[in-house]
Structure formats: structure tokens, C-alpha cells
Structure 1
């Protein structure tokens, strides 16, 4: 079992199981403790009610819903987050959220990790 005492914790919200696995592997390999991945709003909000990650990575479009409610909960808790999405225009249109970084899919893992690290530095 890995020691996760001093690791940054990241919540991953992603409904595509292959992308979720890739993200989990990428963050885990770079020393993060991964919460999730979760694929829907209800589960994401449940995780947030039980723990407080250092940062969250949200897929905007979760099939029949968006991750906006999770983003709002993160904002209320002052937890930084970013969107990783194939629908950048939709994320930008959601004007009631505070400005957050948005990265487009497909993504380069090293760039994503660099952005996440800079947000929690």
C-alpha cells in the first residue's frame, strides 16, 4: 500500500471510463492521491461531502448532465478546479461560474499536470 500522507489530493470527474483510467494513472504516477474517478454529479457531490480535495479536474459534459453543480460546490468550498472538455464553447458560456482554466480534449498529460500543479502551488 502506498503512503499518501503528503500527497496532493485530486478529485477526477469524468464519465468516459477510458479517459478516467488514463487520468487516474497519469495523476497517480505523478504523486497525486486520486479521488474517484466519478462519472456523475450525485457521486461527485457525495465525495465532496465526505472529503475535501486539494483540487478537482472536471469533465464538463457528463452525458445527460454537466458538472456545473460540482463546480459550484467546489467554489463554495474554495477548492480550485479546472475543466477538461471537448466542448470548450459550452464551458465558456456558463457565465455564472467564476473563471477557471479550461483545457481541451484531447489533452497532453504533461500540460494538464503542469496546469494542476501551478494551481495548487
Structure 2
């Protein structure tokens, strides 16, 4: 592998971790999947980043318990979470673009039919919290509370027992979103999605990190897909 291709591959690894964690439902399984894909070798006919996504997609074990087939979930995550064009996502999963578009349409219909869940939002900026509430409710979910600091988040999670937590990482003077989530998960098994403007900082595999990470700003579809994967895929911290 030449130096330029190797440098591109190194830059792609954090985002492959995000994809793999969302696909498998945990940090541990996702990071192990990326390592396994790298050991297995990458397709030579794709760019380094697409080749790594493809290797992860092909190596991932299929979980037949999901309501949405694996290749459709992969396409959803690649286009909505990783922001790939449909043609690139199709190349990653090995489908013609026209077939990928049909599969995405079917997957989007399935996402919209999935039952809603109760969501606790952890966000210290009131305007941003209001925007997140509107996005979450447009996705068909019910926001049961908004916490602005770490202590409030822990107490609200304890009393409300939400089906999902949507957390900002930086709560300003009110503490740290990851610390709040770690405290919450000591008491209850609740899937969590983290929202951050700097996702690569949470994808180093150097410490306990989230499985579900959405980049700010995000689209409602990305939230809907991440919500489905979080609820169906397991815990956020492995």
C-alpha cells in the first residue's frame, strides 16, 4: 500500500468505528469488527475509506432478529449516519445503485413503521434542546424530559426510566454528558445516542466510548435510524 493510500486509510478508521459500533450495537463489538476487517484485507477496487466500510460490511455477522434486513440497515447507516452518496453506499454493500435505492426506500418505510419510544434529552443549551425535541417528536418519539446538567440527567433518568437517551457530550458548567451516561447505566440498561460536533474525539478506541454517535448538525432521518439501531442493537457503552 502506497503512503497516500495508507494515510487515507488511517483517517477513515474513526468513521469506520462509528459505522461498526452503530451496526453491532456496542463499542466493543464494533471496534473488534473493524480490527477483524482490517486483518481480512480490503478491496483494491475502492478508495481506502469505501474499502474499509466494505470490509466491515462484509465481515459483520448478520443478526436475523432485526426487523430490517442487514443490507438495508447497512445502506441506511452508510447514507444517513456516514453521509455517503447512494452510489458509494451501493458500491460498499455490493449492489447496483438502482437496487440500493429500492432497498433504501423499503428500509425507510420500515423505519417509519417502528413503534415510538420515550426519550430523555440531555442538553444544556435551551435553544438546541428545543430543536432536538422537535426533531425527536417529528421522528414519532415522545420526549419525556430535558436535563441541562449531569446531576439533573441522572435524577430524571432514575425517575422517568426512558427507552432512549439522547445526550450532548459537553454540558458546559453542568458537567459532562459521558459521565452522566456512565452513572445512569450503572442503574439501568438504556440505549444512548451521543450528539457532538466532533465525533472523531469519541472514536479513538482508547477508552470507554459511545456506540452511537451523531454529528452536529444532524438530519431527522439520521436520528430515526440511530434510534432504531440503538433500541434494537443493545447498550451504548460496552
Q: After the TM superposition, which parts of structure 1 deviate over 6 Å for at least 4 consecutive aligned residues? A: none
More strand by share: 1
| Alpha-carbon spacing, 1:99–1:15, altered in 2? closer, same or farther (3 Å) | closer
SS in 1 for 2:172: coil
How well do the aligned residues superpose, as a CA RMSD in angstroms?
2.1
1:1-58 Cα distance to aligned partner (Å, 9 max, x none): xxxxx84111111112222111111222332121222111111011012121111011
Q: Which residue of 2 aligns with 1:111?
A: 222
Q: Which residue of 2 aligns with 1:62?
A: 171
Worse-superposed segment, 16-25 or 95-104: 95-104
1:32-88 Cα distance to aligned partner (Å, 9 max, x none): 121222111111011012121111011000113211222113432111101101132
Q: Which residue of 1 aligns with 2:182?
A: 72
More helix by share: 2
**Structure 1: runs of 5 or more not aligned:** 1-5
Give the conservation status (yes or no) of the 8 Å contact 2:212–2:230.
no
TM-score normalised by length of structure 2: 0.44
**Structure 2: runs of 5 or more not aligned:** 1-114, 233-238
Q: Which protein is bigger by CA-based radius of gyration?
A: 2
